[in-house]
Amino acid sequence: MDVANLMRTLNLPYTNKALLQQAFTHSSYVNEHHRSHLKDNERLEFLGDAVLELAVSDFLFKKYPQMSEGNLSKLRANIVREESLSHFAKMLYLHEYVLLGKGEERTGGRTRQSLLADVFEAFLGAVYLDQGMDVCIQFLEKHIFPHVADDAFSHTMDYKTKLQELVQRKKNNALRYDIIDERGPSHRKQFVALVAINETLQATGKGYTKKEAEQQAARKMLAKLRHLESER
């Protein structure tokens, strides 16, 4: 596992390579290599969770000065939820560096949302211990916060929910999702989803899980509907 390559790619400084390797070490791997005296990433995950919540809270507080406490809390919860963090982990290719036990690997642990969300938090915890809060914030500002500004996080609903509510406003509308393709190796499989409204309007989306692909398809459909509405 070459974490040095990852840090170069992310343009992140580091001094403690062992700490970063621990961030990617799952308990299943430790259990299979107990003689190596390895440490798993669970304590780093605990720390990274707190670092992330503080950093996101500070970002939202400054970005939305007029937003109420209740809405800030909902927006923060939407950003730090398991689905979002696993998406960030895959976006940064953190899943490629995870050390898993054979059984966990065989059952698809490398693409499991809960595991990837934990890895993201553990990685952030390791960066915090190694480089401090300022570097953590710089990392989030460069790689994560720009995505928070888009529609994925600017409301408390997901794309599929928003599209469903929009479609239901008109009678006799039928909404359908299908997984139409699967690409790539088993450890990094990508799904392609199609969403159709009344079989006439269609959009597709890609993702590393079927749910993520459907969300991206719904996002593109919402953009298409906004474009059609603007032309009227």
Residues 106-116 have pLDDT tens digits of 888 788 889 99
The pLDDT score that the predictor gives to residue 150 is 47
Same domain? 140 vs 163 = no
Among 40, 104, 118, 121, the one annotated catalytic: 121
The number of domains in the chain is 2
49 annotated active-site? yes
Same domain? 121 vs 170 = no
The pLDDT score that the predictor gives to residue 78 is 84
From residue 178, give the alpha-carbon distance in Å to each of 48, 69, 113, 165, 203.
Answer: 36, 38, 21, 19, 11
* Structural domain boundaries, residue 67: 3-148
Among 49, 158, 212, 214, the one annotated catalytic: 49
153 part of a folded domain = no
190 part of a folded domain = yes
Q: Which of 148, 176, 200 is the last residue of a domain?
A: 148
The pLDDT score that the predictor gives to residue 153 is 56
Q: Residue by residue, what is the 3-state secondary structure of 197-228?
A: ECCCEEEEEEECCHHHHHHHHHHHHHHHHHHH
Regions of the chain short of the pLDDT cut 50: 150-151, 154-157
163 part of a folded domain = yes
Q: Are 67 and 86 in contact (CB under 8 A)?
A: no
Same domain? 35 vs 97 = yes
Give the predicted TM-score (pTM) of the model.
0.67
Same domain? 176 vs 70 = no
2 annotated active-site? no
The pLDDT score that the predictor gives to residue 116 is 93
